[in-house]
Structure formats: C-alpha cells, structure tokens
Structure 1
Amino acid sequence: MPTVAVPPERRIDELLLERWDRHPEHPALVSGDTVVTTGELRDRVLLAAAALRARGVGPGDIVAVYHERSVEFVVALLGAVFAGAAHAAFDVHEPPRRTLAAFEDCAPRAVLAGAAFRSRFAEVPDLLVLTDEEYADEEYAVEGYADEEDRAHHPERDPFPVARSVVAPAVVLYTSGSTGRPKASLISHRALVSRLRALQGTHRMDERDRIIHHTACTFDMYLSEVYWPLLAGAAVVLAEPGRQRDADHLAELIRDHGVTTFYCVVSLLDLFLLTRDPAERLDGLRQVLTGGEPLPPELVKRFHARSTATLTNLYGPSECTIHCTAWVCPRDPDLDTVFIGTAVADTELWILDGAGVPVADGEPGELYIGGAGLALGYLNRPELTAERFVTLPALDPEGRLYRSGDLVRAHPDGALEFLGRVDRQVKIRGVRLEPGEIEATALRCPGVRQAAVVAYGSGSAKQLAAYVVPDGDGAAEGLPASVREVLRTWLPHSMVPATVEVIGELPLTTNGKLDRLLLEERALKRAAEAARPGPRPGPRPDPGAAGEVAEDPGALVSRVWCEVLGVAEVGPDEDFFDLGGDSFKVVAVVEALRERLDADIPLAALLTEPTLAEFTAELRRILGGRTARDV
C-alpha cells in the first residue's frame, strides 16, 4: 500500500533558521513566566553550536544532551544539530549506570549538561562536558548574513560552514533491547523533516498555536513536541521537570497558556480525563494526538463528550520516526473499533505473512514499513539492523522496509486495525519494553540463577511481574528485595516490575520452552487475590462526639496506601510505585486523602515524593500542622 510523494530534501537546521529569521519577535518557548522569542532562541542555539564546533564537534559526531526539561534542554538539542552532529538525549532521572552504559555504546564527542549533573561524569575519561554557563559568555562569530554580498565579505558568519547531508543522522534514540542491551535508532534529517511535514500537512499549526512539551526524551514523540511547533512558527510550553504525568499541572498549562495542541499517550489521556471535574470542558484545545498503546473506543467517546477538539490516533515505532499512520477518530456514539489509520505522506506499508508474501485482503499479517521516515538503522548493531531493516525486491526493488513485529489487518476503506505483537515486546503505559532486557538485568543479582518477566493485565492496568529462581538452597530469603534493588540501579522506573517472586523452577511447555502463559495466569491470580477488599473503615464520627481522637497523617496515609495497593502493610522507606502503584492509583490515593482530610492535595505531592515517609512529610507541610481524623 505505497503512497506517492516527493522525498523532502532539506535539513531541519536549515528550515528552522529560515523560520526564525522570518519572524524573530515571535514567542518560541514558554517556561513558567519566561518567554523566549525565536530570535533569542536562534542566538542561543547558534552560540551553543559555535561552542561545540570550536571544540571539534561536527558532522558524524554524536552529542549527548543531559538536562532537565527546560529552555536549556531545547537549546542543547538544537545546538548539537546546528553544529552538524546528532543529538542523543538522556533522561536525568534514569539510573546513571544505564546512561553511562549508553555513553560507552554511542561514544559522544561531547555532553551538553546541566551544571548540577556535571559530577555524574567525573570518572569518565576524556569526556568533554560542557554546561550552558560555561559557554554563555564566550564570543563566537554567530551572526547571520544581511544579504548575499554580506555573505561574500564575511564567510566566518556562516552558521553551516561544512557541507551537510540530508541523510546524515540528526537524532540518536535509545529504546529497550531484547538482549539486555538497549538499542539506538539513527534518525536522519530526511526522516525527521518528512514526519514533521506529515504532521503539519494534516494537523496544521501556525504562530497562533501552542503545544505542551512534556513527553520524556526517551520516547520519540518528544521530537514532535519540540521540532514541529518551532518549524511551524508555534510556541512550545514546557512542563515542569518531573510533572509530565501530573494531570493537574498539564491542565493548568493548557488553561493558563492557551494551549491548542496536545499530545499524550493513551494512558495519560485516560488519567487526564479521570482527574478533571466532570463538568470541566476542554474546548480550548483544538487538536489532541494520542497513541503509544491501544486506544479504547470508550475513551474516545469520553473525550469527545468533553471537548470539541479533534482526536487523532497515531501509530509508529521509533525506527520509523514518530509515526507512520494516523486516524482521526470519528464522533460516533456507536464506535466499537479504533483504527491506527492509513499511511502518512512519504510512507509505504505492506502486510505480509511469515514467508514475506502479501496477505489476502482483510487477513492479518505483520506490518512492514518503508519510505522517507525510516531510520538509518541501529547504531553499532549491524546484525540487528540487517534483521529488522530488510530489502524485499519483489515488493520494493530500491528501498528498505522495517519489520515492525506488529500484527495488523486492513479494512475495506484502507484503515489498519492493530491486533497485537508477533514477538515478546510489550508496551506499558506507552513505553516500549523488552522483557529480555529486564531478565538479563535481574541475572546481575547475586543468587539469581534464572529469571523470567511477563506482562499481565490490559490497557492502563497492564503491569510487569518478575519470577526468579535462586541459585542454591536457602538463597531465596531476601532475594526479591535484592533483585528489585539491582533493577532500580540499572533500569528506568518504567521497566521495574510491580512484583518480584521467587519460585523453585520456571514452568516449561511440553516442547521444553518457558511457559509464559502460565506465568501470566499466575500473576493475574496473585493480583486478583491482592485486590480483594479488606475491612473498610467505619463511618465518619460526629465532630462533636465524645472519644474522637486526632490522628497523625502518617497512620492515615499508610492505611490508604494499603487499601489502594492491596497490601497488608507498608514500610516507611517503601516506594509507592515499587509496590505496584501507577498514575491511576496515585489519583485514587490523592482523591481518598482529599476527601478524608478536606484538603487540596496536588497529585504532584505523591509523584515527586513516592516513599511513605517522604509523602507523609510533604502531606504534613501541605496541611500546615493540622492532624487528620480518619473516616
């Protein structure tokens, strides 16, 4: 199902510079009360690029970006690209060991980092770490040209002194790897520009629009939140660091800054609607884009009931740069199937069987993706690149296709229906994970002989469960805690299983393979058992009744956590998310405490202070010394 289009032949840095020079007075970035104009952004980006070039960075290099979400983060991304290099952005909240392992893989020529994080790289030999403060006062020839005559007389002002290619990498994006080693997709300027033009072609933005940048830099949609609006002349509203899943904060940004375009993964959209007052309308938004996981029809209907904005379901692995299909959800009260849509511009799609032959109309098969948006391959992984990026001359004599591993089916109107995966890869709240990487990391823990990780549940309730077999008799005591500590040391929070269970041996099928279905059923059974309601608190006593006892918030918080998480007790240093908590359970806890304490408790309180002791201390601060009366 190919689409015909002329491949874009412009680099993203050239296009951005043209846009900025056209209207330097327009707002580009909004961060709290700070507004950065396009002219100011241009000057800061060119300064960063000049600082990198002065230190030998250029085409073919990789620059690591290590900032909190901020104006400086955006400047660093763009500065790397304007220097001719590709940027690899890393989440400062991920375990440093994982980041340093990625550094060994991508060998960045330089790191643009926040000053507070410089010490994390102190022991890495020969690594150039540069903070924005360190080059802000340096002088470089970064002015542009007034005209062609000026260009001839002042070649030193050229922001692009070296010839550059549209097929050169612009972005290096790491995702989970099945072997325990994260893999990095190389995204070219051509691919990035192609996808941004596709978005602009179907969901146009201009200088009147604003979009929130809240997506973590480990998820490729952050590229659209930064590059798309800047290229279209719209402004980027930056969410505060650590509050990307704080629905209250996002709602404030939408309201206070006139946000018109909003992207969020499906589970965050669900959470966002769940936390808003049912009477609250979201008509200020003009268009909402979602994706990353299956979109339930019921959620589409709930959104349409609350907003006049369009809702578009996007699909696409990072190897295909942001998205490769799109479907605008109809306002249909009888909607029963949500599609991932049809191919976007510069994209071709094929549905093939196991032999690489196109399936009959309406039959399921694996989706193969081609076109200008395809990544160049995986960094330093030629075998994996050859396995996933294939050439099928019978279908496309001159191009490559990416084997998505996704099962789809085409309907008569051409829209694709997502049916599931053909491999073990899973998505938890929009994050693509390889259980194999988690298993390989669990084996780092002393005392673990075997490990298996499965996903159980569905939709926003999907979670991970880990099973470990101890090495030797008597080694099981304390092993779950040890495994969890190792996983937290090496993996981001999204990859740490909700439960870790010790078992005597891993179950096998009759063919001698790991019986993952049996483990999934076991995890579901344990989750159901844990969710059985225990004794509920009694009715609220009359405030004037005799014998009413004031209670410190700590006891109340502990009790509410146990109710929501389905556990018997919680220790002061235990992490809410390690105990199986997620964004939806955050809402349940906060709503319960708001009702029982009659207090305005922000969702961010639990998101940023996730241990029992930390959250209780924050709650005491919010209450201002009040005590709680349990209900």
Structure 2
Amino acid sequence: MTTVQAPADRPSTDADHRLDALLLERWERDPALPAIVSGETALTMGELRERVLRTAAALRAHGVRAGDRVVIHHERSVEFVVAVLGAMFAGAAHAALGVDDPPRRILRSVQDCAPRAVLTESALRDRFSDVPGLSDLVVLTDEECATYAPTPESVQGDVDVRGDASADDPVAVIHTSGSTGRPKASLISHRALVSRIRALQTTHRMDERDRMIHHTVCTFDMHLGELYWPLLAGATVVVAAPGRHRDADHLADLIRDQGITTVYFGVSQLELFLLTRDPAERYDGLRQVLTGGEPLGPDLVRRFHSRSTASLTNIYGPSECTIYCTAWVLPRDPDLDTVLIGPAIQDTELWILDEKGAPVAEGETGELYIGGAGVALGYLNRPELTAERFLGAERFPNAPAVSPDSRFYRSGDLVRARPGGVLEFLGRADRQVKIRGIRIEPGEIEETAKRCTGVRQAAVVAHGSGAEKRLAAFVVPEKGVASDSLPSSVREALRTWLPPYMVPSAIEVTDELPLTPNGKLDRRLLEARAAQRSAEPAPARAVHRAPADTPADTSVDAEPDVESVVSEVWCEVLQVSAVGRDDDFFDLGGDSFKVLRVVETLRERLRADIPLAALLLEPTAADFSEELRRIMAHGPTD
C-alpha cells in the first residue's frame, strides 16, 4: 500500500481559516507597511484596507451576500487586486475573467457562474450591458466603488458581524477547460486557500522585507498565491504591467529595480527568461523561486542554479486542489537526471491507486488521488462532474486505511512513489493536455469546432513535447462545403469563442476521421499525422525583393518591405505556408521560444534594435509590422 500523508491542520476556529479575518488582523497591526506597488502607484496596508472595504461596502449595498459570486474583469493592476479582495470582504467568491478572452467566451463564463455583480473598469463596462438571463446583473467600476464608505456590515473579516460566515464558504472560482465543450469552474474555499498559504509560509517564509511579483494570468490559480501569500505575510506585492507577463525584459527590470525576493515562473516562462537575458546576468537578489505547471527538465534546473543563489522549488497540483499539493526543492546536483514533484505538503493526503482503486506498491505506477484541506468544494453547478471527480471514502473499498471522513480529488495524473514518499510525475491517464502550462481539454475545442459552419466532425490532438507541444485539429466538412477555405473559416470562428492558447496551430480538412479496429477514433494515428505535417518544411513563398539591378544603397534596400519580411520570418519559424495581415502570432503556434527566434532573426535582417516586447504587445502581423516601422524610424521605447 502506498500512502503519502502530511500532518493534519491544528484544531481552530473558523476565523483562523478565513482570509478576511486574517487580512484585517494583519492590516490593523501593520497599517504603514507597503502592500502593493504598481508602476508609480504604491499603497500601504492601511490604504489598501480603506479601498478594499469601500469596494465591499459598494457590493453589499447592491445586494451581494454570502455565497454570491462576483466577476472581476480588470487589467492586471492595483484595481484588480482591490476588486478581488473587495469581493471576498463582501462575502462573495470572485471569478476573474481575462480581458483578452473572446467576448463569447467571457459571456459564456459569466452566464455559467451567474454572478450577482461585476467589478470592472470604465472602458470595459459595455461588455456586460446585456447578458442574457442576467437582467439584474450589477456592474460597478472602481470609481463608483470609491464613493462608498465602509460600514460594519461590509467588514466580513469579523466573523461575529455575520453569524453564518464559515471557513468553508467559497472565496474563488477558477475556470478551466472542460471536455464537454463547456468550461468547468472549481470552487475554492477560505479554508483551502488559507491552508495553502500556510504551507507556503511554513517552507518558504516571507516577511516585511520580501517582495513578490504578481504576473500570473488571472485564470490560473497561482494568482491567488501571488496576492494572498505576500499580503498575509506582511510582504509587498509588485504588480507587473498589463500584457507584459511574457516579457522577460520587463520582469528582469522588476526583479532588479523593485528588489524582488520571491517569484513564481511557469516552466516555459523560466526557460524563456533564461534564454532571453544575458547569460552573464545573475539573479542573486532573488531568495526563492517557485516553478511548475509543466514537466521540469534537469538541464533547465542546472542553468537556473548557475545564475542564481536562490532556491528553486518544483510545485505540482491541479486547481481543484488549490495551487499545489506537492513540492520539491531542487538539489544543486550537477548530475541530476530526474526532476521529481516531491512529497505531500502539510494538510494533504495522497494515495496512488490502480484501476480497481487499490493502493499500488512503492515504485509502481498508479493514478494520484489528492485529499486534505486544499481540495476544492467541487465544480460550480456541475453535480454530476463533481460526483465523478470528487470522491468520498466509500468509493475506496479496496483501500480500507482511508479515513471514513476523507474526501479526494481524482487527478487523472499517473505517478509513482520513490523511497521516502517523494513522487515522480509520469503523465496523464486521460486526454487532458497542457500547452505552455495551461490545462486544456481537447474535447472542448472539438465541441466548439463542430459548431462552426460547414463542419460535420472534428477531432483535436496534441503532438510534440515540452515547449514544442502543439494542438492540431482535423475537421470533416459537410457535404458540398469547399475544403480549401474551411481551415481559415474554422480558425476565425474558434478565435471568437476560445482564448488564443486553445486555437489549434494547424487545422486540416480530411474526408473522414480514422478509426481503430474496435471502432473508436484513432487518436494515435492523428497525432502521428500532425507531427509529420509539423515536421514538413513550409512551402516556399514569394517575398518582395528589390530588382537585381537596383543599387544597394537605394531607398528600396534602405527601407525594406517590413510586412513582407515579417511574413517571411513568421513562415520560417512557425512552419506555415502563409500569414495573413490579421493573423495572430500565438494563434499560429507561436510561443515564448519562437518569439525569441523571430525577434533575433528580424534584428539581423532589418538591422534594427527590436525589443521582445514588440511582438508580445502587438501579436498580429499588421500591428507588429507597424510597430517595427515605428521602431526603425524612432528607435525603441522603454
């Protein structure tokens, strides 16, 4: 039997496990400590408390009560942080939606979580002017919230103010991709999040001398750690500029100029950061770095250790278990050959079971089941899916040692235990994949593709590994539909319904989908076909060139056709045959590593000082080309 357990949490009151009570105690004890820095804006804990309680008062005045949900729709900013905390102090759970997500996906997520209110900025308010089925939806901006005065009823941190306040109240709603075509939303409780913050603080302690960057996208649960952990520890949250979470130069500037001591990087982001910066540059000001979201390779660990004295910790855990459930501090071992995900953190119980629900022997492969304080309450409005993935002890008749009151999340991840209970991650047991650290259900993309005009069937597979993992879609057209124009029309339709990371980099029309001998879709064959197509060189393209007899110093050579050069380089790097003016680099399969290759190539061909941020901020071919023309004329801006 393989059981991996960590100490249970101490007996305590609900107030000990409510974020509002804990934050109020911290703010009242240290009101002058810096709390948030964002560009030129800085708030002390006392100033943050005032703004948060005004927002909570505004929500309470508009009917928000315990158990309600509040959508947060802000760019990354001080206002975003205030909105998240204000919703929590009003007694609600916040659901943060990315401002760059397609309008249809935003609308669908709003309808799915049925919020009582939306907190947003003035420029985005019209997005919520008419939400079907939610005619009484309250939409408030930060300017409107600032006009409300805090009242005792708005301060939910004092549990005595409202007798029904519980540590098991939901505090956050985290949307992830769903296999049925509908995103699923995990409900995270105060108790779960407090447990995780305490686990982080136990092993990676922060205090008022520390600063942590908030740059993770709001749809990934690590943004909860980047906000609540430093604020509860008395440390300072340093907010990265909107749209620059991929920009290694910007993050390096923050690390240096703001005295950052603690940061979380997704694995791909850490890879890009080290590739982009000067190899001689060191980051010894950092004290501790956490990474996760994707498998971590030994070579990346060695490269990080060679450039920083900071500790590097690999954390693992699905959002259904609140940020993480295992952690492994990477040893400074030049001969490291396997990166593990570590043992269970505190307040966590792990079981590795076989297909019959029986524990496997140490060293044997099995599926990981996660229990303990961090397990989510379930999926919002999805009772059948909740019952399928969140299991009680009665579901484990072959594991009699499971406590009768235990509750587990079935992760779908395959692991095996090393001596001492340290786990090794081996892959997925189901179809869920991760692209650049983001969990994706191919089934959601398939269901969306089937809604596209002219599509009869659709299948989506992932191919490649690590940073080179890509999504590919195969679509069968309706009878009479022209196949040559179908990929582009499907791509455009998917862009209106799905975020960029879920739009396949390749869309291929096929007469039929292949089946296995038992009549099931042959996904392995499609994966092999997608990998083969990806490896084929892109067809040659006609690119604007100066006439052969044009002198080298004429204006034609001095002022190249920037858009043609951009298109040519994108085709080379992305391995596509053509690029449209409105095509998005990341929709076509671009990632952080390909950004680096494109910019380095263009620096050479255009003989210009092009910052990485240029492509990150202007990802369409037309806008990027226009930005390059501006840079070539005036030079890059800071």
Q: TM-score range by the shorter chain?
A: over 0.9
Partner of 1:549: 557
Q: Which residue of 1 aligns with 2:619?
A: 610
Residue 563 of structure 1, aligned match among 569, 572, 585:
572
Matched, 1:254 2:261: no
| Distance of 1:291 and 1:579 partners within structure 2 | 25
Equivalents in 2 of 1:531, 1:427: separation in Å?
26
Identify which of 77, 82, 88 aligns with 1:70. Answer: 77
> Which structure 2 residues correspond to residues 508-587 of structure 1 after superposition, within 5 A?
508-530=515-537, 549-552=557-560, 553-587=562-596
Q: 1:550 Cα shift?
A: 2.0
Query: 1:104-124 deviations in whole A, cap 9, x for unaligned?
Result: 121101111111111011112
* Identical residues among aligned pairs (%): 68
Distance 1:4 1:549, change over 3 A: closer
Alpha-carbon distance change, 165 to 560 in structure 1, aligned in 2, over 3 angstroms: same
In structure 2, distance between residues paired with 1:117 and 1:326: 38
Match of 1:443 in 2: 450
Work out the CA distance in 2 between the residues paired with 1:245 and 1:48: 30
Task: Report the Cα distance in structure 2 between the residues aligned to 1:254 and 1:157, rounded to whole angstroms.
Answer: 33
Counterpart of 2:391 in structure 1 is 390
Q: Name the aligned partner's letter for residue 98 of structure 2.
A: D
Change (3 A) 1:34 1:184: same
| AA in 1 matched with 2:622 | A
Taking a change above 3 Å as real, the CA distance of residues 609 and 595 of structure 1, as seen in their structure-2 partners, is: same
Q: Deviations over 1:469-489 (max 9, x none)?
A: 001134323111111112111
Contact 1:142 1:158 in 2 (8 A): no
Structure 1 contact 141–157 (Cα < 8 Å) conserved: no
> Counterpart in 1 of 2:8?
5
What's 1:180 paired with?
181
1:263-303 Cα shifts (integer Å, max 9, x gaps): 01101100111101111111111111000010011111111
CA drift at 1:563: 2.2
Query: Which residue identity is paired with 2:25?
Result: E
Q: Measure how far apart 1:580 and its partner are.
A: 2.0
Q: C-alpha deviations, 1:586-611, integer Å up to 9, x for none?
A: 11111122233443322121112112
Q: Distance in 2 between matches of 1:156 and 1:593?
A: 54
Q: What SS class does the counterpart of residue 342 from structure 1 fall into?
A: coil
Q: Please say if residues 21 and 158 of structure 2, whose CA atoms lie closer than 8 Å, have aligned partners that are also in contact.
A: no
Please tell me whether the aligned partners of residues 26 and 38 of structure 1 are also in contact (alpha carbons under 8 angstroms): yes
Aligned residue type for 1:388? R
- Matching residue of 2:597: 588
Q: Is the 8 A contact 2:539 2:577 kept in 1?
A: no
- Secondary structure of the residue aligned to 2:368 is strand
Note if contact 2:91-2:156 (Cα within 8 Å) is conserved in structure 1: no
1 CA distance for matches of 2:20 and 2:158? 13
Does the CA-based 8 Å contact 1:366-1:407 persist in structure 2? yes
In the TM superposition, what whole-angstrom CA distance separates every residue of 1:427-484 from its partner, at most 9, and x where no partner exists? 0011000000000000110110100000000001101000000011343231111111
CA contact (8 A) 1:407 1:422 kept: yes
Equivalents in 2 of 1:275, 1:463: separation in Å?
A: 22
The answer for the alignment partner of 1:32 in structure 2 is: 39
Under a length normalisation based on structure 2, what TM-score does the superposition of the two structures give? 0.92
Give the 5 Å matches for 1:271-282: 271-282=272-283
Whether the 8 Å contact between 2:458 and 2:476 is mirrored in structure 1 is yes
Change (3 A) 1:53 1:222: same
Deviation at 1:537, TM superposition (A): 13
Contact 1:390–1:400 (8 Å) recurs in 2? yes
Q: Give the drift of 1:158.
A: 6.7
Aligned residue for 1:413?
420
Q: Give the deviation of 1:64 after TM superposition.
A: 0.9
Q: Residue 88 of structure 2: which of 60, 81, 89 is its match?
A: 81
Distance (whole Å) between structure 2 residues aligned to residue 197 and residue 158 of structure 1: 20
Aligned counterparts, 1:129-144, within 5 A: 129-141=139-151
- Which letter maps to 1:128? V
Q: 1:152 maps to which residue?
A: none
Partner of 1:149: none
Contact in 2 for aligned 1:142/1:157 (Cα 8 Å): no
Partner of 1:623: 632
Name the structure 2 match of 1:150: none
Aligned to 2:488: 481
> What's the counterpart of residue 427 of structure 1?
434
1:237 and 1:532, CA in 2 relative to 1: closer, same or farther beyond 3 A? farther
For 2:7 and 2:529, the matched residues in 1 are separated by 49
Match of 1:463 among 466, 470, 476: 470
Residues 569/6 of structure 1: CA separation in 2 closer, same or farther (3 Å cut): closer
Q: Which amino acid in structure 2 is aligned with residue 314 of structure 1?
A: I
Shift of 1:160: 6.6
Deviates more, 1:600-609 or 1:520-529: 600-609
Structure 2 Cα separation of the partners of residues 177 and 131 of structure 1: 30
Aligned to 2:397: none
Structure-1 separation of matches of 2:440 and 2:456 = 22
Structure 1: where are the runs of 5+ without partners? 145-154, 627-631
Question: Secondary structure in 1 aligned to 2:197?
Answer: helix
1:203 Cα deviation after fit: 0.5
Assess if the C-alpha contact under 8 Å between 1:173 and 1:186 holds in 2. yes
* CA displacement, residues 31-76 of structure 1 (integer Å, 9 cap, x when unaligned): 0111111110000001111111111111111111111111010000
- The 2-side partners of 1:452 and 1:270 are apart by 31
The residue matched to 1:98 in structure 2 has which SS?
A: helix
Q: TM-score, normalization: structure 1?
A: 0.93
Q: 1:454 to 1:160 in 2, by over 3 A?
A: farther
The residue correspondences of 1:318-357 to structure 2 (distance < 5 A) are 318-357=319-358
- Matched residue count: 613
3-state SS of 2:229 partner:
helix
> In the TM superposition, what whole-angstrom CA distance separates every residue of 1:172-222 from its partner, at most 9, and x where no partner exists?
111111111111111110000000000000001111111111111111111
Match in the other structure for 2:217: 216
Q: Separation in 1 of the partners of 2:266 and 2:519? A: 38
Q: Which stretches of structure 1, 4 residues or longer, exceed 4 Å deviation after superposition? A: 155-160, 531-538, 544-548
Do 1:47 and 1:142's aligned partners in 2 also have CA atoms closer than 8 Å? no
Deviates more, 1:46-55 or 1:348-357: 46-55
Taking only aligned residues, the RMSD between alpha carbons, in angstroms, comes to 2.3
Pairing of 1:279-290 with structure 2 (within 5 A): 279-290=280-291
Distance verdict in 2 for CA 1:161–1:54, change over 3 Å:
farther
CA distance in 2, matches of 1:157, 1:321: 21
Task: Find the aligned partners of 1:462 and 1:581 in 2 and give their Cα distance.
Answer: 11
SS at match of 2:608: coil
* Per-residue Cα deviation, 1:351-396 (whole angstroms, up to 9, x for no partner): 0000000001110000000000010111111111111011234222
CA distance in 1 between counterparts of 2:225 and 2:632 reads 40
1:48–1:75 Cα contact (<8 Å) kept: yes
Distance 1:182 1:321 in 2: 17
Tell me if the contact between 2:213 and 2:260 (Cα under 8 Å) persists in the aligned partners: yes
Q: Determine the C-alpha separation between the residues in 2 that align with 1:341 and 1:588.
A: 34
* Alpha-carbon distance in structure 1 between the residues aligned to 2:408 and 2:168: 17
5+ residue gaps, structure 2: 395-399
The one-letter amino acid of 2:8's match is A
